[in-house]
Chain A
Amino acid sequence: MPLHPVSQPFARGGLLVGSLLMLILVLVSVSSFNAFNTIINFIYLPLIGICTWPRTDKIITSICIIFIFGLLLDIVSSGPLGLWSLIFLINFAVFKPHMKLKPLVFSTAFSSWFLLLFFSSILIYFFVWFSIDFPPRVMPLIIQPAIATCLFPLAYGLRHLLKKIFIDQFLRDLI
């Protein structure tokens, strides 16, 4: 019984943080710039939001939010509708970030990020192949995850900041 009243605001705050982080990452991911003759793209960035999805018992709400953000990314990146939703949901089902046994710490998040990135890259390769009818170039599938990996600490820091703003300090370390 004492757990119930705690779990509600904890779940809500966690989902709010997860959603806000996803929204920011989705909107940032469509930006790009050209540095030293290489196009720097952030399209893999929203996967960090999936990797660091908060621990929550609101699984159906999480699924809906992730599905919507996938569609949003498809629209703002002008890709085929449903592609990123599919990638996000498959990652969500495989890695189950909401069911972590322990609260998320940076080292754990970073190591699981590599696993998720590798899995996502394979998924993206085959989905793009299916979408455009010929195998995509491998180089962007290496460069773009590398850029996202470089920005992982920044995104993790942003998540921490959002946690500080939106979650009560006694519950903050739980998600």
Chain B
Amino acid sequence: MLGSNSNSTKASNIALITALILAGTLFISDRGSQTIFLQTRSNVEAIASPGIKFLSIPISMLKNVSSAFVERSKALSENKALRDELYKLRDYQKESRIMELKLSRLEQLLNSSNETKKTSVQTVARSYGEVNSPFVRSSLIDVGKKSNIQKGYAVSTVDGLYGHVQRVGKNSSRVLLISDINSRISVMSLRSNSRAILAGNNDDFPNLIFASNYEGWIEGDTVLTSGDGGMLPPGLEVGFVIKEATGKLVVDLNTNSKTVDWILVTHYSPIETPISQTEIQGNSTHDLASILKGF
């Protein structure tokens, strides 16, 4: 193709160079932000998702075979551990009932509502296109606008938080995993109540950054979503703290090394930003002006 003198070869050389320049320009402008053609992306994903779903059937069969094999090999030891856990949980259940009763009475006294009731709406969906490439960690799920899914909704598995909805199509949505480099969520330690930001790094172990109190984080701490910023519901389990040899705090995610098939989308509306004082003043001036005009 390159190096020949014929007209068609020249034309194809020009076409190739044009395509390379176009691809390069798109890549440079979309690098980092990925904000170009958002609507087109959602539409293409919606069109491609039935195909991906269909072609992922043999892969999900493989997935089931491998997970069945692993589960069977662990069955005996897990059975024993589960029995022990069950005995412990019976005691916790009793305590929890008493606590629940106390809490509802206190709430009645204080005249406040239980916040967890807000997050009770959940949609079950199937994740079928998880991408764990060196560039991005995301997944496609088979619910979209038709199921009232909105951008920002928390996506979790039975093990814990998986990610949040990044883009919504008609029948499919793109989930940004918490391990993705662009993911930032506010978390807290269950033990010490210390706050931090969980920053994805395209690795299985995201970093804990901007910790409010570094002493408040020790290895083995359970990490939960804090709900700070109002974007995600509080109290969703994320993972456990690990301290690296360098002293850096990372989180071993609960969803690591787990087959993610069925997921739960939690419908959670972010807390609305209060109207600023200037806005109120602006509005009131406007109202006053219109009232005066009326007179």
Binding partners A and B:
yes
Residues of A whose CB lies within 8 Å of any CB of B are 23-24, 27-28, 30-37, 39, 41, 43, 57, 59-60, 63-64, 66-67, 70-72, 75-83, 85-86, 89-90, 92-93, 96, 98-99, 124, 127-128, 130-133, 136-137, 140-141, 144
Q: Are A33 and B48 in contact (CB under 8 A)?
A: no
20 chain-A/chain-B pairs, Cβ below 8 angstroms: A30-B129, A30-B130, A32-B130, A32-B131, A35-B62, A39-B132, A59-B9, A70-B23, A72-B48, A76-B44, A76-B48, A78-B174, A79-B135, A80-B34, A80-B135, A81-B26, A86-B24, A89-B20, A89-B23, A131-B32
Q: Are A131 and B135 in contact (CB under 8 A)?
A: yes
- Give residues 24-41 of B contacting A (CB, 8 Å): 24-28, 30-32, 34, 36-37, 40-41
Please, how many angstroms separate the alpha-carbon atoms of A41 and B137 in the complex? 11
Other-chain contact of A132, B37, B56, B129, B135 (Cβ < 8 Å): B135
Give 13 new A-B contacts, CB below 8 A, not counting A33-B66, A79-B136.
A27-B55, A30-B140, A32-B131, A33-B59, A33-B63, A34-B67, A34-B259, A57-B8, A76-B45, A85-B26, A89-B16, A89-B20, A136-B202
Can you name the residue of chain A whose Cβ is closest to the Cβ of B260? Answer: A34
Interface residues of B (CB under 8 A from A): 1-2, 8-9, 11-12, 15-16, 19-20, 22-28, 30-32, 34, 36-37, 40-41, 44-45, 48, 51-52, 55-56, 59-60, 62-63, 66-67, 70, 128-136, 138, 140, 166, 174, 176, 181, 202-203, 257-260
* Chain A residue at minimum C-beta to C-beta distance from B11: A60
CB <8 Å contact, B62 and A72:
no
- In whole angstroms, how far apart are the Cα atoms of A39 and B139 in the complex? 13
What separation, in Å, do the CA atoms of A27 and B50 have in the docked complex? 10
Partner of A78, one of B2, B22, B34, B70: B34
* Chain A residues, Cβ within 8 Å of B63: 33-35
- A159, B247: Cα distance in complex, Å: 51
Other-chain contact of A93, B16, B40, B166, B258 (Cβ < 8 Å): B16
Shortest beta-carbon contacts, A-B, top 8: A82-B26, A82-B27, A59-B12, A85-B23, A33-B63, A35-B66, A136-B134, A81-B30
Residue on A nearest B37 in the bound complex, by CB: A81
